[in-house]
């Protein structure tokens, strides 16, 4: 398991950027047919983009909240969130899901890049810190999508 970043190690920011660009490149070559392809467990390619947008927005919302109110734990059950999100993600138009994923990735990466060393330290020392290395989540789903496209 990868260790969370520290205020002195911001190499994850470059990885976030790399995977954000990879996400953008992937979306540029997908048409409506590819966006509607099924993934596992009832998800589609487009729904996976909406899923990525949600989780990036969750981190962004936490960062904005913590800027105003201080850093505090924010536990959640990812499986329950994902189950609740699936119908909403499927209801979005594929184009809108892609747009949300790209905009959300850009916004959260920018917010993470702007974190002060003190705030970053507070966040990574939480018992359950949010995954500031957004690249890990993006890479997982980009790889899943690319596997489906290769079939």
Q: Which architecture characterizes domain 11-150 according to CATH?
A: Up-down Bundle (1.20)
Q: pLDDT digit string (tens) for 138-148?
A: 999 999 999 99
Separation between Cα atoms, residue 97 and residue 89, nearest integer Å: 8
Separation between Cα atoms, residue 42 and residue 120, nearest integer Å: 36
Q: Which pLDDT belongs to residue 127? A: 87
Please name which of 3, 6, 1 lies closest in space to residue 117, comparing C-alpha atoms: 6
**Which tokens in the block code for residue 3?**
């260790």
φ, ψ of residue 55 to 5 degrees: the values are -70, -35
Domain coordinates in residue numbering, the chain: 11-150
pTM: predicted TM-score of the whole model, two decimal places: 0.93
Q: pLDDT digit string (tens) for 66-111?
A: 999 999 999 999 999 999 999 999 999 999 999 999 999 999 999 9
User: Residue 47, Cα to own-chain centre: how many angstroms?
Assistant: 13
Place of tokens 């047919």: 33
**Which tokens in the block code for residue 118?**
């003190």
Q: Which pLDDT belongs to residue 9? A: 80
Check: CB of residue 104 under 8 Å from CB of residue 92. no
Separation between Cα atoms, residue 129 and residue 119, nearest integer Å: 12
């Amino acid at each position: 398991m990868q260790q969370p970043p520290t205020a002195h190690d911001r190499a994850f920011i470059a990885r976030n950027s790399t995977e954000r660009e990879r996400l953008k490149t992937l979306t540029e070559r997908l048409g409506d047919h590819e966006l509607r392809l099924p993934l596992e467990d009832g998800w589609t390619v487009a729904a996976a983009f909406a899923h990525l947008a949600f989780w990036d927005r969750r981190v962004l919302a936490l960062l904005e909240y913590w800027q105003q109110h201080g850093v505090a734990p924010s536990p959640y059950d990812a499986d329950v969130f994902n189950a609740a999100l699936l119908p909403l993600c499927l209801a979005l138009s594929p184009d809108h899901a892609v747009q949300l994923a790209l905009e959300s990735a850009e916004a959260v990466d920018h917010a993470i890049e702007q974190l002060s060393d003190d705030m970053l330290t507070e966040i990574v020392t939480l018992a359950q810190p949010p995954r500031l290395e957004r690249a890990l989540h993006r890479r997982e789903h980009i790889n899943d999508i690319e596997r489906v496209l290769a079939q």
